[in-house]
Amino acid sequence: MLRRRTLQAGLAALSALLLPRRRGASAQQGPVPDFTFPSIDGGTLNMADWRGRPVLVVNTASLCGFTPQLEGLQALHEELGPKGLVVLATPSDDFAQELDDAQKVKEFCTLTYGITLPMTDIIHVARGDLHPFYAWLRETRGYAPAWNFYKVLLGPDGQVVQTWPATVKPGSDVIRQAITPYLSA
């Protein structure tokens, strides 16, 4: 009996990590506030500038097994950016897989994956002094990335539409289907 309970608890925990979360009662918490992020290029990135557009926020890392997903993020940026999608990469070393300097991160991402999408400076997404966006996600939605390359889709109204774990690739049908209704013609 104990083994069965342990197995059930393990499966429930695994499901919570791997299955996408849909907006539900927590969506009543309201839209994302107009947070700013330090840009990897200097200056700031302001979420208010993207109001009215869907935004896919992804915590990234340069030294992770999922790092090749940067190619898919860039492809979404190039293909769907002209239709309104903003793809925002938020590099983080919270899982000890990021380079130690933002300039090195930018150089790596640019040279290896041709990244031109907006990127923040290295921030905390799951541990330590969380960036306010990720603190807001945790406090209002109970959501925190459990690893690198977790994805959060915000609708044009700033509501959290859906989240996905690292195992869901950026160009997957499930992500494209979630984004498509929010794109302009």
User: Mean pLDDT in the chain?
Assistant: 89
Please answer whether residues 19 and 143 qualify as being in contact, where contact means their C-beta atoms are separated by less than 8 angstroms: no
Residue 37 confidence (pLDDT) above 80: yes
- The string of pLDDT tens digits covering residues 104-141 is 999 999 999 999 999 999 999 999 999 999 999 999 99
Domains of the chain: 22-182 (3.40.30.10)
- The string of pLDDT tens digits covering residues 78-100 is 999 999 999 999 999 999 999 99
Residue 161: CA count within 13 A, CB half-sphere:
21
Q: If DSSP states are collapsed to H, E and C, what string results for 94-120?
A: CCCCCCCCHHHHHHHHHHHHCCCCCEE
Residue from 45, 47, 57, 64 carrying the catalytic annotation: 64
Residue 150, judged by CB atoms within 10 A of its CB (0-12, 13-18, 19+), counts as buried
Q: What is the pLDDT of residue 30?
A: 80
64 carries an active-site annotation: yes
Residue 173 confidence (pLDDT) above 90: yes
What is the DSSP track for 36-53? EEEBTTSSEEEGGGGTTS
pTM assigned to the model: 0.85
Q: What is the pLDDT of residue 13?
A: 42
